[in-house]
Amino acid sequence: MKFLLIIIANLSVVACAASNLIVNKPLNDKVYLYGLGIHSTHASAEKQAMANLTQQLSSRVESEVLDQQTLTNGIENSRTEVNTKVSTLALELPNIETMKSIEINGEWNILIRVKRSLVQLAIKNQLEDKSDDFSIYLEDYSASPGPACWYALKGVNNEKSAFRSLIAAYVGSGVKVSRTQIYSEQIKGVEKLFKKCKKRNRYRLQVENDLTGQFRAALQESLSSSEIKLTNSSKNTGVIVAKLEKETKILFKQHVVFLSSKLIVKDEFGNFISDTDLKAKGVSFSSYRDAEKKAIKGIIKRIRKLKFSI
C-alpha cells in the first residue's frame, strides 16, 4: 500500500497522557520507522499516524508543547497538545503496514510502520527526479545567461524549497549528510545562475510607426521604472517590439482616431515570452490631427498606468 502524504504548516497532533495511552509506539530501529496517531475518528487518527511518521524524516520541524490540566467530576485530567509546524513536504511512502488499530471509549489509536530502506529508496527516487530537472537548467543556460534563462528560472523557487525538503527527509531517514552533498551543490549552482541571469535580463526596445516620438519616450520611461533593463546592445539581449497601429473614422460628424499597440516580448533567441495590448481613442469635431493628439495622450496615459513585468 502506498500513501502520498503532503504536510503543510500547523498540523495539530494530540497525544494523551501516558495513563490514557492505549498503544505504545516502539522506538525507531535500523529496520523500521513507526508512527502513532490518536483521534476520535479513524480517518484522522490514520492521517496523524502518517504525519507522525513523516515528521521524523524532516529536520525542519518546530514543535510547541502545551500541557493542560482540567477537573472533571473532581478528577484531574492531563492532556498534552503538540502543535507542529512542518515545511511543505510531499512524500510517497511505500508499503505502509498498520500494526494496531484500536478504538476504546471513542478514541482511536493507530500504529503504523514502514521499512526504513524502502523510505530511503522512495526519497532517493524523488531526489533524482529533481536533480535531473536542475541539471537541465544548468546545462541549458550556464553558457548563455540572459532573458531566456531568467524566464525559465523565475518559477524555480518553489522547486528549490521542495528539493531542500526532500534532502532534509533523506537525512532524517538515516542517510549520511555527505550523500546529499551533490544535491545541495546543484541548488547552489542554480541560485548562482539565477543571479547571473537576472543581472543580464536586458532588452532592446523597437518601436514602429511612431511619427512624433512621444509613444517611444513614454514606453521607455514606463519600462525603465518597472525594473526592466533596456539596452541598445544586440548581444544576448531580448527585444520588446511595439508597433503603433492607427485607424480613422467619421462617426456622427466627428473625427475619430483609434490607436492600438501590442507589446511583444521575445528572448535573445527570438522565442515568444509575453504580449500586452494597449488601446486608446481620440475624438475631435475639427480634424483628424486633433483627434490623433487626444488618442496619443490617451495611450500614453495607459502606458504610465501599465504595470509591466517579464
SS3 state of residue 239: strand
Place 89 in a pLDDT band, splitting at 50, 70 and 90.
low
183 and 79 in one domain?
A: no
> Which pLDDT value is given to residue 224?
83
More confident residue, 58 or 16: 58
Residues 6+ apart with CB under 8 A from 280: 258, 259, 260, 295, 296, 297, 298, 299, 301, 302
Verify that 83 and 110 share a domain, yes or no.
yes
DSSP for 264-282? EEE-TTS-EEEEEEEEEEE
User: Is 310 inside a domain boundary?
Assistant: no
> How many structural domains does the chain have?
3
Question: Residue 264: which residues within 8 A CB-CB, separation 6 or more?
Answer: 240, 241, 242, 272, 274, 275
Percent of the chain at pLDDT exceeding 70: 82
Backbone phi, psi, residue 281, to 5°: -135, 140
Q: Looking at the structure, do residues 215 and 300 belong to the same domain, yes or no?
A: yes
Q: Show which of 63, 84, 115 is a domain's final residue.
A: 115
Locus of grid cell 483609434: 258
Q: Is 287 inside a domain boundary?
A: yes
In a domain, 139, yes or no: yes
**140 in the same domain as 185:** yes
Band of the pLDDT at 22, cuts 50, 70, 90?
confident
46 and 145, same domain (yes or no): no
Asked, for residue 49, whether it belongs to a domain, the answer is: yes
Q: For residue 105, is pLDDT > 60?
A: yes
pLDDT tens digits, residue range 201-236?
999 999 999 888 999 999 998 888 777 899 999 888
Q: Report the CATH number that the domain containing residue 103 is assigned in CATH.
A: 3.10.28.20
In the predicted model, what is the mean pLDDT of residues 99-108? 92
The answer, as to whether pTM is greater than 0.85, is no
